[in-house]
Every structure is written in structure tokens, then in C-alpha cells.
């Protein structure tokens, strides 16, 4: 990406992706006109030069308690101030005072939302793998796992709300200890039934996995969330606590694609391997995208690897036809539609459209 494109990138992100976050919409406009903010974003490697990485870096400094002027605008730390004429000065102060830490985030960080709400799609998607293969014991590999919170997909209290207003519970009970996910179930497809599968292996790979016991790492995950969304913050905290009690393994790898085959070779006999990527392809370059597809194709044919992929339609649907976009309720924004596909033994089919954070699911 050319550096001259950065103001446009910020303004477009604020306009198209921040409809539910007025602070970020305003910050993107302010940053687009701030030479120092643009220089900070330019510090990121080209594949990570995203508006939301800049926003996460600023949010992390707010959560760390070292950007008081900016914190007044952030509900995540009790701020109540609406974006106003003083916001540019607050941004300037944060950039000036926290420049070394911010540069570190931009040069070496990556947005790691690790959104637990995606369990609303992963739950029925894993059911599709079980139905297609006849397997009941699943081994899950979360590619680009961040802290691996989605490895606890079967430990989430799911509630689907249908168009008639009825609530349908799946997953574990709502006992105050589990992360709770509420999602709209759109379209005519029947609701998913109770799970006939169970996770026997929970592994994740990431260039920089986050230990759920690491305070600074969890603060970064919280920083990647929208500041106004208290429900997501609580859900993330509960999911992190739950994962601490589950057997799982996170592996650091500079080449996550090359790590898939060794993972397969170490699985116990009789389990169905499932690779999951959720908003990972968006961050890969063309060469790595091609290599990932070729690797999965080969391992799917030889070892029966199933791949559940959620991303932009142009990335997740390589072979399957992209289905028509869903008709959404008036109060739901259509930005960043996520298409979920399943690839198994050389065949690919579209499973669902969803909100990128699982607010709604349109099963196909």
C-alpha cells in the first residue's frame, strides 16, 4: 500500500466499518488529517497497515492508564465525552507522549480480536463437519489463534434469536461462568440441533500467541475491541477464564502454514482434523494465500483435513459460487460481511453469511 493512500484508508474505515462506534469514526477522520498519526500507521508492515491496528494501539495506551486526555472519550475506561473539537488535541497529546510504545505496537503488533461471538457460526459449522464425515471426535486447529479463545467453542452459552422473537439455547447453560453469545438467526434454514460432536484436541498456532494468564496480552486483546462494547469485554474475560481450565496447546510459529502438517501427524487415531481460520486470510499476502490453499488441498486429500474458513467472500470462496448477500434487518449494518465456507477432500461449499463478530448468522 502506498503511503499516500493512508488518509483514504482511514476515512473509508471510519465511514464503512465504524457505524456502531462513533468515537472510532471520528478518530479515523482526525487521524487522516494528522501527519504524525499517518507516520505512525506507516510504521506498520505493509500487510498489517490497517486502520484498526492504529486504533487498537491507541486503545491499549488508554487501557494502560497513560493517555488521560484521550481516555475521557473511551467508555471502556469510564469516559463519557462525545467526540468534539478537543479530540484532535487529545490524539496529538497521546501520540507525543506515548510514541515509543505506539511504534512498538505498529511495527510488531497485529489486531487480534479473537472474537468469541464467532462461536455462533463455528458451532453449526463443526456440526457440518461431523455430518459430512460421520466423525464424532474432532481435533481443532485454530490458525492465527491469538489467545485461542475460540478453542472453547463448545464451552460457550449460545442463544439464537429467530425472527419471531423466540430464543433458542445451545451449548452450555448460562450459569454466570461461561461466555454468553446472543446471535440473530436469519433466513429459513433450521436452527442447529444439539452437538453430536465433541472436541478431543484443542490446539492453536500463531506467530505471536497470547497467554491467557498474561495481563499485558489480555489488555491487548481488550484493546482490539470497540471501546463502547461492554458485553464483548465481559465475554472475552469469561472466555479467557474458561480457557485456563481447559486442556489446550498454543504453538508459536513463524510459518503457521508449514506447521499444519506436523500437527496432523501428531494427532491420535480416529479423530477428524479441522482447521479453522476466521479473518486470517485478510492479513495474508498473495504468495502465502496461494501456499495455504495448496497445503490444505494436499492435506485434505491425503489426511481428510476439513477447513472452516470465515472471511471476505472474495477470500473464503475460492471454488464455490458466492451466494447472494442476505437481506439484513434495518438495524444491522452490511459492512464487512463474512462468508463461511467448508472445504473437504477437494470440494468447497458455502455454509453461511455472518456479521464479522457473530451478531447474526444467515445459514445457507
Given 108, 140, 163, which residue is the final one in a domain? Answer: 108
pLDDT in tens, 62-86: 999 999 999 999 999 999 999 999 9
CB 141 within 8 A of CB 275: yes
In 3D space, the residue among 318, 313, 319, 295 whose CA is nearest the CA of residue 362 turns out to be 313
Number of domains in the chain: 2
Q: How far apart are CA 281 and CA 312, in angstroms?
A: 8
pLDDT of residue 110: 80
Q: 333 with 297, same domain?
A: yes
CA 51 to chain centre: 15
pLDDT of residue 115: 85
Q: 68 with 166, same domain?
A: no
Strand partners, 250: 204
Give every CB contact of residue 154 below 8 A, 6+ residues apart in sequence: 123, 171, 172, 195, 198, 199
Give every CB contact of residue 199 below 8 A, 6+ residues apart in sequence: 138, 139, 140, 151, 153, 154
0.85 exceeded by pTM = no
Q: 246 with 130, same domain?
A: yes
Q: 209 with 230, same domain?
A: yes
Q: 123 with 103, same domain?
A: no
Q: 202 with 282, same domain?
A: yes
Given 78, 108, 138, which residue is the final one in a domain? Answer: 108
pLDDT of residue 3: 65
pLDDT of residue 113: 66
Q: How far apart are CA 263 and CA 260, in angstroms?
A: 5
pLDDT of residue 320: 81
pLDDT of residue 27: 98
Q: How far apart are CA 339 and CA 337, in angstroms?
A: 7
The dihedral of CA 83, 88, 89, 94: what is its sign? Answer: positive
Burial class (CB in 10 A: 0-12, 13-18, 19+), 333: middle
Q: 42 with 172, same domain?
A: no
Q: How far apart are CA 296 and CA 288, in angstroms?
A: 12
pLDDT of residue 364: 94
Q: Which residues of the chain have pLDDT under 70?
A: 1-3, 113, 335
pLDDT of residue 302: 92
Q: 52 with 122, same domain?
A: no
pLDDT of residue 47: 82
Q: How far apart are CA 147 and CA 282, in angstroms?
A: 19
Q: 121 with 100, same domain?
A: no
Q: 292 with 240, same domain?
A: yes
Q: How far apart are CA 136 and CA 119, in angstroms?
A: 18
Q: 33 with 162, same domain?
A: no
Structural domain that includes position 89: 3-108
pLDDT of residue 211: 87
Q: 173 with 150, same domain?
A: yes
pLDDT of residue 17: 86
Given 82, 108, 134, which residue is the final one in a domain? Answer: 108
Amino acid at each position: 500500500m502506498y503511503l499516500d493512500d493512508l488518509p483514504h484508508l482511514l476515512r473509508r474505515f471510519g465511514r464503512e466499518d465504524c457505524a456502531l462506534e462513533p468515537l472510532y469514526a471520528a478518530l479515523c477522520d482526525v487521524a487522516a488529517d494528522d501527519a504524525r498519526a499517518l507516520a505512525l500507521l506507516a510504521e506498520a508492515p505493509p500487510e498489517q497497515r490497517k486502520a484498526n491496528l492504529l486504533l487498537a494501539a491507541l486503545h491499549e495506551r488508554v487501557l494502560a492508564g497513560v493517555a488521560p486526555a484521550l481516555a475521557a472519550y473511551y467508555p471502556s475506561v469510564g469516559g463519557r465525552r462525545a467526540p468534539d473539537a478537543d479530540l484532535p488535541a487529545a490524539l496529538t497529546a497521546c501520540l507525543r507522549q506515548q510514541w515509543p510504545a505506539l511504534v512498538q505496537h505498529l511495527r510488531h503488533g497485529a489486531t487480534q480480536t479473537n472474537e468469541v461471538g464467532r462461536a455462533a457460526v463455528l458451532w453449526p459449522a463443526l456440526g457440518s463437519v461431523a455430518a459430512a464425515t460421520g466423525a464424532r471426535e474432532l481435533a481443532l486447529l485454530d490458525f492465527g489463534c491469538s489467545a485461542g479463545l475460540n478453542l472453547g467453542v463448545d464451552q460457550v452459552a449460545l442463544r439464537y434469536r429467530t425472527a419471531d422473537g423466540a430464543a433458542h439455547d445451545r451449548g452450555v447453560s448460562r450459569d454466570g461462568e461461561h461466555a454468553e453469545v446472543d446471535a440473530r438467526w436469519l433466513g429459513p434454514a433450521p436452527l442447529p440441533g444439539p452437538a453430536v460432536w465433541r472436541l478431543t484436541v484443542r490446539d492453536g498456532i500463531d506467530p505471536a500467541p497470547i497467554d491467557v494468564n498474561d495481563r499485558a496480552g489480555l489488555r491487548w486483546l481488550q484493546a482490539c475491541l470497540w471501546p463502547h462494547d461492554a458485553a464483548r469485554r465481559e465475554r472475552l474475560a469469561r472466555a479467557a477464564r474458561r480457557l485456563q481450565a481447559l486442556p489446550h496447546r498454543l504453538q508459536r510459529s513463524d510459518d503457521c502454514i508449514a506447521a499444519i502438517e506436523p500437527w496432523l501427524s501428531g494427532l491420535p487415531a480416529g479423530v477428524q482434523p479441522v482447521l479453522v481460520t476466521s479473518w486470517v486470510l485478510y492479513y495474508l499476502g498473495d504468495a502465502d494465500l496461494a501456499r495455504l490453499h495448496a497445503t490444505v488441498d494436499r492435506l485434505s486429500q491425503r489426511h481428510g483435513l476439513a477447513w472452516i474458513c470465515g472471511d471476505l467472500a472474495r477470500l473464503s470462496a475460492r471454488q464455490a459460487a458466492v451466494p447472494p448477500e442476505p437481506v439484513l434487518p434495518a438495524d444491522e449494518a452490511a459492512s464487512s460481511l463474512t462468508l463461511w465456507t467448508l472445504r473437504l477432500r477437494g470440494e468447497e461449499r458455502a455454509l453461511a453469511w455472518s456479521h464479522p463478530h457473530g451478531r447474526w448468522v444467515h445459514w445457507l
